[in-house]
Chains A and B, each alone.
Chain A
Amino acid sequence: MGKNYSLPADHELFPEGTSRCSLTKFSIWMGLVGAVALWGLYAAFRVLAEGLGVTALDDYFGFGLWITFDLAVIALGAGAFFTGLLRYILNIDPLKNIINLTVIIGFICYSGAMLILVLDVGQPIRAWFGYWHANVHSMLTEVIFCITCYLIVLIIEYVPLILEQKQLNKIPVLHHIAHNLHVWMPLFAGIGAFLSTFHQGSLGGMYGVLFGRPYVLRDGFFIWPWTFFLFVISAVGSGPVFTVLIATIMEKMTGKKLVSWEIKTLMGKIAGAMLLVYLVFKFADTYAWAIDVLPRSGLTFDQNFYQTIYGKWLLWSELFLCGVIPCVILLTPKLRNNPVLFYSAAFLDCAGITINRYVFTVQALAMPVLPFDTWETYAPNWAEWGASALVLAYGAIILSLSYRYLPVFPQERSLNATKSN
């Protein structure tokens, strides 16, 4: 049989029965993303070589863009553990059509967050001290343990997908490994759910225990601060729709249908239900904070806000525009089935969680607690943006390669066959 020269040069590597754009087009795309990654690598190099002095962080804002970014991507990456839990433990079978993507996104979010943390800690070479000299009282210790263990779980979940690549899967031993890992997946999904719940919670707990910072202090529910639970629920209330948004962006870019509308709206409905639970607690929490934590600290509600960047509009946007409105849309079948409304709701949901992580990280530190202190403001500089862009570019590279060569979307063949019929 003669060669078909109209196919891309690397077509032998594509998943069974799928088509992809030409290698040239793909290379141009990878080149663009690669340029962003190079800029980020330069920023990362400068930070590691010269120290954190090259960032805009200072003694007031020890936590800045990177921590906000980390917390946001980790919350949005929660689609991985939560969908895994629903698919493997609660047996919601249709989710098998999106589970691969959630695993990849989870992997990108967690490994990206680790990458940023390497830059963000002043002494990255000592990072293992978190295990060696662990302070069991620190929420951050729990985060360090869970985040590294969970990343390992995500790698284990990702490996079978790589081994299922058409050519690799022809090798018997790899085929068997992939198959056997699949059999064990419910176990890893369970471990992942456990680890991720605890570390999402500990990220919230990290703030809730700061009794010197009334803006974020939320004292205990037994041994946990209230924010422990808020962070977990908000993550599962936004992670699933983030996965949907990524899938949709990939569809727009590739011109293919990858995930059916039913699956997307199912994910939306799940996220909406969790968002509702979150909002009930979040409103109660905000009320308790305003009438209990603040007066106890000698502060008024108004004192916690400042000008535009730390203004009340952030709180109202988070609660209503990015909370109540998307929740109503996602939970009302009629509204949810309207694609424009659905995607807007998904976007607002993710934006709300990002605002939440921003105010907890930056506004909490900007707010003067000493009565004679003043509001300070913080704007990240190029080094911080560069490193964040590096993670985004890294994510785009992993996703692009995975989509091109791995069988990520089980529905791709049938959905696109129907389209061409």
Chain B
Amino acid sequence: MQTKEFTIKWGMAIDLDKCTGCGACMVACQAENNLAPIADASNKIKVMNWITVYELSNGKPYPEHDVAYLPRPCQQCGHPPCVSVCPVIATDKNEEGGIVSQVTPRCIGCRYCMAACPYHARYFNWRDPVWPGGLEKALTPDVSVRPRGVVEKCTFCHHRWMAAKDKAIVEGRDPMDLAEGEYVTSCTEACPNGAITFGDLNNEEHEVAKLASSKHAHRLLERLGAHTQVYYVSRREWVLRQLDNYLEDEKVKG
């Protein structure tokens, strides 16, 4: 399976032992990326959240019971299941730091990419977006709002990278060589526990590159071969086992 590789590979390392499941990342993402609130949010598989926090359990009774929380943004796969299936190239994996793009004005809303993504990272605009009570005045100006009938997803706050690059250009620096922290996603910034680390996986100087190569780092559904750019870090074996479909007799790596 071929993986697309680029000079810069933006990636994330999420420490599951630090995450408390507070949901600040979800809220930050919602506000930053102009996600319209849904009138009836009781159907949790019809709501709009580019990042979702899952609750994991070791399934044991108290006092051995243990839980972990797993925030799941788009995994920005190196070999994305969604890209090759889109009939109109509305989603692509290009040299934009290895971020899987989503061109909403081109999306025809067939939802084939949603069917392809095992991470449930893609969301459909089931209804026209409505911002109640003048909330539209607080929209992020750099992020376009999406109409009804298209698929959208986490872009690692791509607009923030654009802004960071612009700033570097204005200051006469190389926009392709940003220092750590110059460009981070809104969820990274909002996490009160520092569970999310963001940066260039190809840059040895960046913390995320070090974390990603640690023996406690695993990726979701690694064996499917999507080569994701989001790494999960935990020192608990039962947590790591839940990142991929380990068969009973298989030993967890690391």
Contact = CB atoms under 8 A, between A and B. Distances in A.
B74 to A, nearest CB: 13
B70 interface: yes
A123 interface: yes
A213 B116 contact: yes
Nearest to B226: A212
A54 B198 CA distance: 38
Contacts of A373: 54, 120
A235 interface: no
Contacts, number: 164
Interface in B8-65: 43, 45-47, 54-56
Interface residues of B, number: 56
Given A140-B87, A212-B118, A129 B124 contact: no
B146 to A, nearest CB: 10
B244 A63 contact: no
A52 B245 CA distance: 33
A340 interface: no
A122 B244 contact: no
Contact of A59 (B85, B114, B224): B114
A290 to B, nearest CB: 14
* Interface secondary structure of B, over-half rule: loop
B126 interface: yes
Given A138-B112, A210-B115, A212-B226, A295 B122 contact: no
A27 to B, nearest CB: 39
B150 interface: yes
Given A59-B45, A59-B122, A121 B224 contact: no
Given A53-B127, A123-B150, A212 B116 contact: yes
B84 interface: yes
B45 A212 contact: no
A57 B250 CA distance: 36
Interface in A313-367: 364-365
* Interface secondary structure of A, over-half rule: loop
Nearest to B70: A372
Interface in A104-137: 120-123, 126-127, 129-130, 132-135, 137
Nearest to B54: A372
B250 to A, nearest CB: 7
Contact of A52 (B108, B122, B149): B149
A202 to B, nearest CB: 11
A133 B123 CA distance: 22
Given A130-B108, A210-B81, A300-B247, A370 B118 contact: yes
Contacts of A140: 85-87, 110, 112
Nearest to B110: A121
A60 interface: yes
B164 interface: no
Interface in B96-132: 106-112, 114-120, 122-128
A209 B223 contact: no
B225 A211 contact: yes
A133 B223 contact: no
Interface string A200-238: 000000100111111000000000000000000000000
B168 to A, nearest CB: 32
Contact of B148 (A51, A59, A369): A51
A209 B120 CA distance: 17
Contact of A137 (B47, B84, B120, B220): B84
Interface in A136-171: 137-141, 144
Interface string A232-260: 00000000000000000000000000000
Interface string B123-143: 111111000000000000000
A139 B108 CA distance: 15
Most chain A CB within 10 A, of B111, B241, B242, is at: B111
A262 interface: no
A122 B149 contact: yes
Contacts of B84: 135, 137-138, 209
A64 to B, nearest CB: 10
B221 interface: yes
A122 B111 contact: yes
Given A122-B125, A370-B118, A372-B70, A51 B149 contact: yes
A298 B119 CA distance: 16
Contacts of B90: 129, 133
Given A206-B112, A372-B70, A135 B87 contact: yes
Q: 5 tightest CB-CB pairs across the interface, nearest first?
A: A122-B109, A122-B149, A298-B245, A62-B111, A212-B118
Interface of B: 43, 45-47, 54-56, 70, 81, 84-90, 106-112, 114-120, 122-128, 147-151, 220-221, 223-226, 241-247, 250
